[in-house]
C-alpha cells in the first residue's frame, strides 16, 4: 500500500501516469476506462478515453490522471478486447507479459511480440497466448465418427404430430376427434409420419440439432394411441408412420446422411390393453360389437367410425389381429366383419351386440385374469401408490398401460430381441419410458443387454418427478430413493448414500433441474437453481443427464401441466442456462417458436381434442409457404446460435460445473475440461444486466463466444452481461461464434 499525500511538499498536485503496451492484434489507440478514482473523481463512460502514443516507445501508450491518488481501470480497444479489472496507486507500466512494473521497462514494442527469424542456437521465444482455434460452422462429422452423446443436442418430436408427408396413412383414433362447424372430422391423430420427418430433416439440422428423439414407432393399439406408448407389437413398425418410399429404415439412413442420430423411445414397463401380437391375448370382446347406450348396431356416427367403433380402416373392423386370441375371436374377422351377427360373451353368457352392455368387457381389464407369465396381477395404481415402491412397480399404470412381468425371462427375451433388431437397423440411442415403474436392477438387465449388443450405445431414462427428486437424502421429498432418478444412475443399495455404488451407465432426464423452473425461470429469476445444482454429486455421471424446459407430458408452469407460458425473454434465459450447464440439452418440438404457448401438454377436459393442447399438429408451420416465417422467430435464431456455440466449446459438452454462484438475477460457473484443452467461464443474466466477477480461474487470455470480447486474466474475470444474455468466456478461445440476436448479444 502506497501512502501518497494529497499535496506533496513541493506544492504540486498528485498525479498518476499509466503506461500500456498495446497487443498487436488490438484496435488502436487503446482506451482506458476508470472508476473509483480518488479523491472524488467521476468514472469514465465505457469504453473510456483514448490513450496517447509514446513517441519514443513504439507500441506503448499513456494516460495522465491529475489530482489522483488511486484509481481502478480496464484497458480495452473498444471492439471487445479488454484486460481484467486492474488498480493503481502510483505511476505504472503494464504489459500482458510482465503485468505491472513501477519503473520503465527496457525498450520493447508490440512488434517484438511477432515471430522474428532467430539464429539456430537461440531458444524459441514463447508466445503471449495460444492461437485461437477455428470456429466450427460446417456440418458435424459423419455419424460413425461420433460416439460421445454429450456432444449432441436433441430435438424431440411426437412423430405423428410433426409433419405430414403422406396423407394416405393418416388415421383417426376413436377418442378425442376434432370436428369442424359442419360436423366433419378434421386433424387426424396419426398425421405426421416418417416421410414428413425425412422432408424436414434439414429444418432440424438448420436449428443445429444433431440427434432426433422420436416417440415409440412400434405398432400400437388403443383408443388414443397416436403417441406410441401403447405397444401391441414390438417387432413391427406401426404402418400409420410408414410409406412405401419412407420406411423406418429410410428415416434412419436419411438422418445419418445428414449427420443426425436417431433416438428410439422404448416402452419396457407395459403393453396396450389387448396384449402382444403372437404372444399373449388379454380377454376382451371385439370392439365392433360395442353399442353405446341409446344407440343401435350400425348406427354409430363418430366421425370416420360409421356404424360402430371398430377400426374403420380394417376390412374386418376389429382392433387387433392377434394370433394368440381365441379361435372364436379370429373366426369373426371374416365371418362377421360388420359385427352384426349375435355373439355370446364367454364370460357372462349374454349376447352382443347389446346397447349399453358392460363397456369394460370391450375396453377394460380384470387384473386377476391376466396371464401371469406376461403380466402382474396386482390391480391399478391409485392414491398413495404413486410414491410407494412396490405398488408403483407391480400395479398397472392405466387402463391401456398393462404392467408387464418384466422380471420373467420370456418378457426379457421378447423385448430385448425386438429392440436389438432396430439397433441393427442403425438406431443410435434409446430413451426408456416409465423408468420408476420397474425395479432398477431388473431394468438394468434390459439396458445392459442392449449395450452389450451394440457397444457404445447411449441409453437414458424417464423417471418423472415433480420436485428435486432426492428421495431419502431429504429436501422435502415424500418418496423413497428407489423410485427417484439418481437411484437409477447408481449401482449401490443404500438409499441414503449415492456413493454406496458406482455409475450404472444409465443417465436420466433431469427432472430435478426441470422442477426448479416453475419457481425460477417462470418468474424471471434463477433463485434456487444453485441449490439443485449443489446436489449434482448424487448422480452417477451428471454430465450425461438430459436437460429440458418442457416435454410432451410436463411444462414448468402451475402444476407442471402446461407448455411454457412465460415471456419470450424468460424462455431465452432458460435456454442460456440449459445450453451452458452440464448435461445434454433437449428441445421439445415447437419450443423454437413458442408453439401452443400456455396450452395444456395433453388433453384435460372430457371433450378436449389435440388441437387445443401442446400436442397440436405442428406441420402447418413447416409448409414451404410458412417455414421462412418459422425460421425468423427470435427463439429459433437464439437456439440456433446456442447450438453453434456449444458445438464449438467441448467444455460446454462434457465438463461438470464448478464454482457455481447464483444470486437470483444472475449465475456464474466454470466448465473445466482442461484435460481435453477446453476451459470456459460462464456468466448468465436474467431480467436485468449483470456484472459478473469470478476469481480462482486459470490465468490467460479469454475470449467471449457471445460478444467477441477479450480479457487477459491473472486469475480473476470481471465482465458485463446484458439482460437475458450470457457471457461464455473461453480460455484461448476463438472469439465470437455466430451473429448477435435478440437475446445473445
- Over the stretch 50-96, which tens digit does the pLDDT of each residue have? 999 998 899 999 999 999 998 888 888 887 778 877 889 999 999 87
Helix (H/G/I), strand (E/B), else coil: 84: coil
Tell me if residue 643 falls in helix, strand or coil. helix
For CA atoms 607, 610, 614, 616, the dihedral sign is negative
pLDDT at 135: 62
* CA dist., res. 417 & res. 352, Å (int): 39
140-144, 317-321, 549-553, 629-633: segment of lowest average pLDDT: 140-144
pLDDT of residue 577: 98
- What is the 8-class DSSP label of residue 62? E
Confidence of residue 141 (pLDDT cuts 50, 70, 90): low
DSSP string for residues in 651-719:
HHHHPPEEEEEE-SSEEEEEEEEGGGTEEEEEEEESSS-EEEEEESPPPEEEEETTT--EEEESSEEEE
Backbone angles phi, psi at 256, to 5 degrees: -65, -35
> In the structure grid, which three cell numbers stand for residue 695, read together?
476469481
> What is the C-alpha separation between 306 and 606, in angstroms, rounded?
22
**Interatomic CA distance for residues 659 and 646, integer angstroms:** 20
- Residue 103 buriedness (CB in 10 A; 0-12 / 13-18 / 19+): exposed
pLDDT for the residue numbered 104: 87
Residue at 92 is within a domain? yes
Cell digits for 636? Answer: 429459433
State residue 722's pLDDT score: 96
326 and 362 in contact (C-beta within 8 Å)?
no
CA-to-CA dists, residue 717 to 101, 682, 693, 696, 729, angstroms? 21, 10, 6, 9, 9
pLDDT of residue 79: 75
Q: What is the DSSP letter of 656?
A: P
Beta-carbon neighbour count of residue 105 at 10 Å?
Answer: 14
pLDDT band at 98 (very low <50, low <70, confident <90, very high): confident
**CA dihedral defined by 335, 340, 345, 346, rounded to 10 degrees?**
-10
Please tell me whether residues 41 and 163 are part of one structural domain.
no
Cβ-proximal residues to 624 (8 Å cutoff; 6+ apart), any chain: none
pLDDT of 711 over the 60 cut:
yes
Contact 719, 666 (CB under 8 A): no
pLDDT at 259 over 60: yes
Phi first, then psi, for residue 36 (nearest 5°) are 50, 40
Convert the pLDDT of each residue in 28-42 to its tens digit.
Answer: 999 999 988 888 888
Q: Kindly provide the residue ranges of all beta strands, DSSP E only, lying in 456-505, ordered along the sequence.
A: 458-461
C-alpha–C-alpha distance, residues 264 and 258, integer Å:
18
Confidence (pLDDT) at 75: 87
- Residue 636 makes CB contacts below 8 A (sequence gap 6+) with 207, 592, 593, 630
Between these two residues, 298 and 558, which has the higher pLDDT value?
298
- Compute the distance between CA of residue 708 and CA of residue 737 in angstroms, rounded to an integer: 8
- 582: containing domain: 152-269+408-648
Q: Is residue 568 part of a domain?
A: yes
Q: Could you give the residue ranges of the DSSP H alpha helices within 454-552? A: 485-488, 511-516, 529-533
Query: The cell 375396453 sits on which residue?
Result: 363
What average pLDDT does range 701-725 have in this prediction?
Answer: 96
Among 606, 628, 648, the domain boundary falls at: 648
Quick one: 161 and 100 in the same domain?
no
Considering the domain architecture, whether residues 454 and 521 belong to the same structural domain is answered as yes
Question: Which of 648, 683, 702 is where one domain is finished?
Answer: 648
Polymer length of the chain? 745
Within a domain: 743: no
pLDDT of the residue at 11: 54
Task: Kindly report, residue by residue over 192-213, the tens digit of the pLDDT.
Answer: 999 999 999 999 999 999 999 9
Q: What is the pLDDT of residues 528-554, one digit of tens each?
A: 999 999 999 999 999 999 999 999 999
The answer as to whether 230 is a domain residue is: yes
Q: What is the CB neighbour count within 10 angstroms for residue 141?
A: 12
CA distances from 564 to 141, 226, 463, 545, 553 (A): 33, 23, 20, 21, 12
Gyration radius (Cα) of the chain, Å: 32
Residues 187 and 40 in one domain: no
Residue 726: burial class (beta carbons within 10 Å; 0-12, 13-18, 19+): buried
* Residue 183 CB contacts under 8 Å (≥ 6 apart), including other chains: none
Indicate if the alpha-carbon torsion angle 391, 394, 398, 399 is positive or negative.
Answer: negative
CATH number at residue 59: 2.60.40.10
Asked if 551 and 419 sit in the same domain, the reply is yes
Q: What is the predicted pLDDT for the residue at 478? A: 82
Are 491 and 599 in a shared domain? yes
By the 8 A CB rule, do 522 and 557 touch? yes
3-state secondary structure of 403: strand
Q: What is the pLDDT of residue 604?
A: 87
For residue 214, pLDDT beyond 50: yes
Same domain, 625 and 535: yes
Q: Is the pLDDT of residue 719 over 70?
A: yes
**Within a domain: residue 668?**
no
Is residue 552 domain-resident? yes
Q: Is residue 347 domain-resident?
A: no
Segment (H or E) for 627 = helix 627-631
Q: Report the CATH number at residue 195.
A: 3.20.20.80
Nearest to 464 by CA among 551, 536, 525, 385: 551
pLDDT in tens, 590-609: 999 999 999 999 998 888 99
What's the pTM? 0.85
CA distances, 740 to each of 571, 641, 708 (Å): 17, 9, 10
Q: What is the pLDDT of residues 605-633, one digit of tens each?
A: 888 999 999 999 999 999 999 999 999 99
Grid cell, residue 690, equals 449483470
224 contacts 398 by C-beta, under 8 angstroms? no
Are 108 and 171 within one domain? no
pLDDT tens readout for residues 404-462? 999 999 999 999 999 999 999 999 999 999 999 999 999 999 999 999 999 999 999 99
Same domain as 74, residue 158: no
> Do 504 and 552 reside in the same domain of the chain?
yes
Q: Which residues, in sequence order, are CB contacts of 240 under 8 Å at separation 6+?
A: 160, 169, 170, 171, 190, 193
In the chain, how many domains are there? Answer: 2
What's the whole-number mean pLDDT along residues 149-172? Answer: 98
Copy the grid coordinates of residue 363. 375396453
**Residue that has been written with the C-alpha cell 436389438 in this structure:** 420
Quick one: pLDDT at residue 606?
A: 84
Residue 351 in this model has a pLDDT that exceeds 80? yes
> What residues form DSSP beta bridges with 704?
729
pLDDT bucket at 476, cuts 50 / 70 / 90:
confident
Strands 546-548 and 15-21: unpaired
- 132-141, 715-724, 735-744: lowest mean pLDDT where? 132-141
Can you tell me whether residue 451 is helix, strand or coil?
helix
Same domain, 177 and 247: yes
Are 200 and 54 found together in one domain? no
665 in a domain, yes or no? no
Instruction: Give the DSSP H or E segment for 572.
Output: helix 568-580
Amino acid at each position: 500500500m502506497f501512502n501518497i499525500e494529497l499535496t506533496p511538499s513541493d506544492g504540486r498536485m498528485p498525479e498518476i501516469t499509466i503506461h500500456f503496451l498495446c497487443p498487436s492484434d488490438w484496435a488502436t489507440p487503446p482506451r482506458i476506462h476508470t472508476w473509483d478514482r480518488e479523491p472524488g473523481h467521476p468514472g469514465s463512460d465505457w469504453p473510456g478515453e483514448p490513450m496517447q502514443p509514446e513517441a519514443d516507445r513504439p507500441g506503448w501508450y499513456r494516460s495522465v490522471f491529475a489530482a489522483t491518488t488511486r484509481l481502478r481501470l480496464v484497458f480495452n480497444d473498444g471492439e471487445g478486447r479488454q484486460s481484467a479489472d486492474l488498480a493503481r496507486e502510483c505511476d505504472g507500466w503494464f504489459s500482458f507479459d510482465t503485468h505491472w512494473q513501477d519503473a520503465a521497462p527496457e525498450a520493447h514494442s508490440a512488434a517484438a511480440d511477432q515471430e522474428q527469424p532467430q539464429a539456430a542456437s537461440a531458444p524459441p521465444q514463447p508466445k503471449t497466448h495460444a492461437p485461437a482455434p477455428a470456429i466450427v460452422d460446417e456440418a458435424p462429422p459423419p455419424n460413425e465418427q461420433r460416439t460421445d452423446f454429450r456432444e449432441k443436442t436433441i430435438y424431440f418430436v411426437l412423430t405423428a404430430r410433426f409433419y405430414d408427408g403422406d396423407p394416405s396413412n393418416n388415421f383417426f383414433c376413436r377418442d378425442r376427434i376434432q370436428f369442424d362447424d359442419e360436423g366433419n372430422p378434421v386433424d387426424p391423430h396419426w398425421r405426421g409420419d416418417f416421410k414428413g420427418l425425412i422432408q424436414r430433416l434439414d429444418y432440424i439440422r438448420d436449428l443445429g440439432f444433431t440427434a432426433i428423439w422420436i416417440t415409440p414407432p412400434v405398432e400400437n393399439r388403443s383408443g388414443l394411441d397416436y403417441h406410441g406408448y401403447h405397444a401391441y407389437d414390438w417387432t413391427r413398425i406401426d404402418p400409420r408412420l410408414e410409406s412405401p418410399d419412407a420406411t423406418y429404415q429410410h428415416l434412419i439412413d436419411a438422418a445419418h446422411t445428414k449427420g443426425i442420430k436417431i433416438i428410439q423411445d422404448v416402452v419396457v414397463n407395459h403393453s396396450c390393453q389387448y396384449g402382444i401380437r403372437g404372444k399373449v391375448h388379454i380377454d376382451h370382446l371385439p370392439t365392433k360389437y360395442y353399442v353405446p347406450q341409446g344407440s343401435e348396431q350400425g348406427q354409430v356416427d363418430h366421425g370416420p367410425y360409421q356404424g360402430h367403433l371398430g377400426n374403420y380402416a380394417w376390412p374386418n373392423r376389429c382392433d387387433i389381429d392377434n394370433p394368440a386370441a381365441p379361435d372364436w375371436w379370429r373366426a369373426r374377422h371374416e365371418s362377421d366383419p360388420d359385427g352384426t351377427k349375435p355373439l355370446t360373451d364367454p364370460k357372462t353368457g349374454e349376447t352382443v351386440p347389446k346397447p349399453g352392455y358392460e363397456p369394460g368387457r370391450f375396453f377394460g381389464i380384470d387384473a386377476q385374469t391376466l396371464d401371469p407369465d406376461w403380466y402382474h396381477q396386482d390391480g391399478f395404481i391409485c392414491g398413495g401408490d404413486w410414491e410407494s415402491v412396490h405398488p408403483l412397480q407391480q400395479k398397472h399404470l392405466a387402463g391401456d398401460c398393462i404392467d408387464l412381468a418384466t422380471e420373467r425371462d420370456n418378457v426379457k427375451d421378447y423385448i430385448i430381441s425386438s429392440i436389438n433388431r432396430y439397433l441393427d437397423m442403425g438406431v443410435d440411442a434409446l430413451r426408456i419410458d416409465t423408468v420408476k415403474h420397474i425395479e432398477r436392477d431388473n431394468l438394468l438387465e434390459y439396458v445392459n443387454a442392449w449395450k452389450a449388443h451394440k457397444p457404445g450405445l447411449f441409453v437414458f431414462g424417464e423417471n418423472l418427478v415433480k420436485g428435486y427428486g432426492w428421495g431419502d437424502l431429504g429436501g422435502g421429498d415424500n418418496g423413497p430413493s428407489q423410485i427417484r432418478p439418481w437411484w437409477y444412475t447408481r449401482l449401490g443399495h443404500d438409499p441414503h448414500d449415492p456413493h454406496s455404488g458406482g455409475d450404472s451407465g444409465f443417465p436420466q432426464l433431469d427432472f430435478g433441474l426441470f422442477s426448479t423452473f416453475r419457481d425460477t425461470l417462470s418468474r424471471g429469476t434463477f433463485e434456487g437453481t444453485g441449490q439443485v445444482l449443489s446436489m449434482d454429486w448424487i448422480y452417477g455421471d451428471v454430465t450425461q443427464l438430459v436437460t429440458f424446459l418442457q416435454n410432451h407430458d410436463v411444462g414448468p408452469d402451475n402444476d407442471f401441466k402446461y407448455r411454457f407460458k412465460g415471456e419470450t425473454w424468460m424462455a431465452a434465459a432458460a435456454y442460456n442456462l440449459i445450453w451452458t450447464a452440464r448435461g445434454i440439452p433437449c428441445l421439445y418440438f415447437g419450443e423454437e417458436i413458442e408453439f401452443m404457448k400456455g396450452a395444456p401438454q395433453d388433453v384435460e377436459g372430457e371433450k378436449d381434442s389435440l388441437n387445443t393442447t401442446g400436442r397440436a399438429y405442428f406441420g402447418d408451420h413447416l409448409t414451404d409457404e410458412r417455414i421462412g416465417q418459422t425460421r425468423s422467430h427470435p427463439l429459433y435464431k437464439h437456439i440456433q446460435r446456442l447450438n453453434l456455440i456449444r458445438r464449438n466449446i467441448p467444455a460446454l459438452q462434457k465438463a461438470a460445473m464448478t464454482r457455481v454462484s447464483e444470486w437470483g438475477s444472475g449465475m456464474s460457473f466454470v466448465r473445466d475440461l482442461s484435460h481435453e484443452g477446453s476451459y470456459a467461464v460462464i456468466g448468465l443474466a436474467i431480467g436485468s444486466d449483470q456484472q459478473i466477477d469470478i476469481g480462482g480461474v486459470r490465468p490467460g487470455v479469454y475470449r467471449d463466444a457471445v460478444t467477441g470480447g477479450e480479457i487477459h486474466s491473472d486469475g480473476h474475470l470481471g465482465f458485463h452481461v446484458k439482460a437475458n444474455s450470457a457471457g461464455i468466456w473461453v480460455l484461448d478461445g476463438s472469439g465470437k461464434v455466430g451473429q448477435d440476436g435478440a437475446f445473445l448479444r
